[in-house]
Amino acid sequence: MFTTQRFRQALIPAAASLLCSSLAWAQQAEPAAAAAPESAASAAAQTAPAPTAAASSSATSLGTVSVKGSKQPYRNLSATGATKNDALIKDLPMSVRVINAEVLQDAGVTDLAGALEFGSGISKANNFGGMWDSYAMRGFTGSPDFGSDYMVNGFNSSRGYNGLRDGANTASVEILKGPSSALYGRGEPGGTVNITTKKPLFQPAYSVELGAGSFSTWRTAADLTGPIGERVAYRLNVAHEDGDSFRDTVEKKHTLVAPSVLWMITDDTTLSYEIEALEQKAPLDRGVVAVNNQLGVVPVSRFLGEPGDGPITIKSLGHQVFVQHYFNDDWSLQTGVSYRDSSLEGLATEAWRWNPVNDGRTLDRQQRQRDYDATDISGRFEVLGKVATGGIKHNLLFGVDGYRFEDTRVQQRGRSAAFPYSIDIFAPVYGVAQPAPLATIQNTVERQYSTAAYLQDQIEFTPQWKALIGTRHDQYRQVVLNRNVTPNAATAQELSANSPRVGLVYQPTSTVSLYASAAKGFRPNSGISRTGEAFPPEESRSVETGAKYDSADGKFSGTIALYKIRKENVLTFDPVDTVFSIAVGEVESKGVELDFSGEIAPNLRLTAAYAYTDSKVTKSTDAAAGTGMAEGRRFPNVPRNSASLFAIYSLPVADGRASIGGGLSYVGERLGSVDVANDFKLPSYTTVKLVGAYDVTKHLKLSVDIENLFDKEYYASSYSDLWVFPGTERKIMVTALYRF
């Protein structure tokens, strides 16, 4: 059980130790005129010991975080999450988009959801009442139980109950399109996201941030880094945000503490240790309703739950340890372990059904008490090497990994047809009589065990022809214990999967890359059926082709990609008992995507994306009649057309720079019901963002961020006509950043 006491016991000593160290170094350090560099390579160069030939000529990485390589405005040349080394993006037979720290800072982005708006083919999905990040990439969403898959430094960090991802310790966000099962195993075929965290530096640098904005929102953050000795450096990232919301009676609090340490054991060996401790308090907010499938009947601010329920509390405490060693210029090993405890607990009142009186205003509700806990431990060991055979160059990767995941869920529900817990959607009155007593409807323990071996070869036949070949074999075991029946029923299954991928790149010139690839993927399905049976895994096949352009001066780049993906054994809810699921059907997604970023004129930076996504159910069964898996039905929450644009112009001032910029986001019409085959739709929308910043002194920077400038009423995602999550009203945030 993940308790508050364990949270504090693990967090406070580490945070206090690092904070004391940072304050001691702050008293000795000279003021920094600008933000410290983010690469640990530049940090390592500042240490007293000189690196060996192997260390100096090889790229250094922590986890899968590249810390060597050129960087241009708004674009990175490499993305290590794609291949677990520092491969150049233009050499990869896949679409890759890296949202670096410069883009995030200029756009005022402080969370994962904001960062993903810069990528093509990514749409907002049902986010479990605002509890966690959920998105669809190329139409595929991920687990409805934990939100969408993402990694942190190459380790899966989405299993369990980990809340909304804060960006305080984020260095970059890598969007990796297409199946990644050949390297990472289970996952969605649309792609995955790898978040790289900020690393300790040996050059002291300190900053604090204070922001205030609409809906009584306050945000404070600190970023402190520097040496503890000649070979040890630390970093401490802290953020706290709380305030009201454009939603009536809704208040939110969010705290992140993320200390880390980097130890250069020798010139060729490094060890890093990182902690992420999160606490989130917010009501489970199912949003508004569509009356007779019509939105806008009630204001987007209308809260239809119960303020007296209090918040849902999410706690997550994660650890990562990673070791890297260079044997020589060509061979190295990297190994690491990730451990994360998480929990979700609280009471929520949610829309259940329209009242049978059918007056168009009376909504029946239900109460649910949830007590969920999860533990996730994973590890990997990898050897990387470079060899040449007959003029052909090989970049090799051999690895093994595994994880153990345990998920305990207890859910109670109270609802009564005879005494409905109703609310008038036009004139809500809170605090009415409670529904029937809570009854336990779910009491399960699920354990997952997985081990795998994988290998990969990046081949350079000639400077123009390159290839990527890889395969992975997974062994997976799942045990689900249903403690809500007598005697307790246990269901177990074992499966294995092979996940190959192959790709070819042709570069007719130094600025153009043409590529094609094919891959297979899989994803185990969690849970059990109404009859106590486990589900077969989802299996997918994907093909992709595209072209990339990198300007000769290195200032901007673009990618166009065409793809087709097919997936089998997809789950939908069981019409007999919606607490359970059934495995039915086959789905398909195909489309075209364009991504562009860079400096298009002196001091003018731009990032843009467009996607056309055609996703639908291609096969179904009679059991899926009336559900969201009806044959020919489009994917919910996935628009055919979507686009984003952000640009910023900078001009020099006395002690730094001033900048002004803005952007827009367009999302087309989408189906609004996840689990019911009706014609309810979310309308298209366009929102506008405006930002500005000014360096008052070399230490102080002021910035303003206006979201939804024209106060557009829109709906970001939904689960059904009873659970529609509206987009935020106009929000203004003013922030002061001080570096010392």
Tokens of 713: 């009423």
Q: For residues 350 and 130, is the Cβ–Cβ distance under 8 A?
A: no
Burial class (CB in 10 A: 0-12, 13-18, 19+), 26: middle
pLDDT tens column, 598-632: 999 999 999 999 999 999 988 877 666 666 677 88
Q: How many CB atoms lie under 10 A from the CB of residue 268?
A: 19
Give 507's DSSP letter.
-
Q: CA 61 to CA 322: how far, in whole Å?
A: 10
3-state secondary structure of 613: strand
Q: For residues 548 and 90, is the Cβ–Cβ distance under 8 A?
A: yes
Lowest mean pLDDT segment, chosen from 69-78, 190-199, 458-467, 727-736 = 69-78
pTM comes to 0.87
pLDDT tens column, 649-667: 998 877 678 999 999 999 9
User: What is the model's pLDDT at position 581?
Assistant: 74
Q: CA 121 to CA 136: how far, in whole Å?
A: 8
Using alpha carbons only, give the angle 336, 342, 343 rounded to the nearest 5 degrees: 170
User: What is the model's pLDDT at position 541?
Assistant: 94
Instruction: Work out the average pLDDT over 287-302.
Output: 94
Higher per-residue confidence, 256 vs 45: 256
| Domains in the chain, number | 1
CA 439 from chain centre, in angstroms, equals: 34
Lowest mean pLDDT segment, chosen from 53-62, 259-268, 293-302, 369-378 = 53-62
Percent of the chain with pLDDT over 90: 67
Specify the amino acid at residue 678.
N
User: What is the model's pLDDT at position 405?
Assistant: 96
User: What is the model's pLDDT at position 31?
Assistant: 33
Instruction: Work out the average pLDDT over 524-549.
Output: 82
Higher per-residue confidence, 81 vs 396: 396
Q: For residues 726 and 716, is the Cβ–Cβ distance under 8 A?
A: yes
Question: Binning pLDDT at 50, 70 and 90, where does residue 136 land?
Answer: very high
Instruction: Work out the average pLDDT over 371-389.
Output: 96
Taken in order 54, 57, 58, 59, the sign of the CA dihedral is: positive
Looking at the chain, how many residues does it have?
Answer: 740
User: What is the model's pLDDT at position 67?
Assistant: 37
pLDDT tens column, 582-600: 777 789 999 999 999 999 9
Written as one string, the DSSP assignment of 334-387 is EEEEEEEEEEEEEEEEEEEEE-TT--SSEEEEEEEEEEEEEEEEEEEEEEEEEE
Q: For residues 380 and 336, is the Cβ–Cβ distance under 8 A?
A: yes
Higher per-residue confidence, 688 vs 66: 688
Query: Domain of 283?
Result: 4-739
Written as one string, the DSSP assignment of 234-294 is EEEEEEEEEE--SSTT--EEEEEEEEEEEEEEETTEEEEEEEEEEEEEE-----B--BTTB
User: What is the model's pLDDT at position 538?
Assistant: 84
Tokens of 601: 């004129």
Burial profile 472-507: b = 16 or more Cβ within 10 angstroms, e = fewer: bebebbbbbbbbeeeeeeebebeeebebbbebbbeb
Q: CA 566 to CA 588: how far, in whole Å?
A: 4
Q: Which residues contact 383 (CB under 8 A, 6 or more apart)?
A: 331, 332, 333, 396, 397, 398, 399
Element (H, E) at 694: strand 685-695
Nearest to 235 by CA among 221, 217, 223, 245: 223
Q: Which residues contact 720 (CB under 8 A, 6 or more apart)?
A: 672, 673, 674, 675, 676, 680
- Helix ranges (H only) for 3-132 are 4-28, 40-44, 53-57, 101-106, 112-116
Q: For residues 713 and 296, is the Cβ–Cβ distance under 8 A?
A: yes
Domain CATH number, residue 310: 2.40.170.20
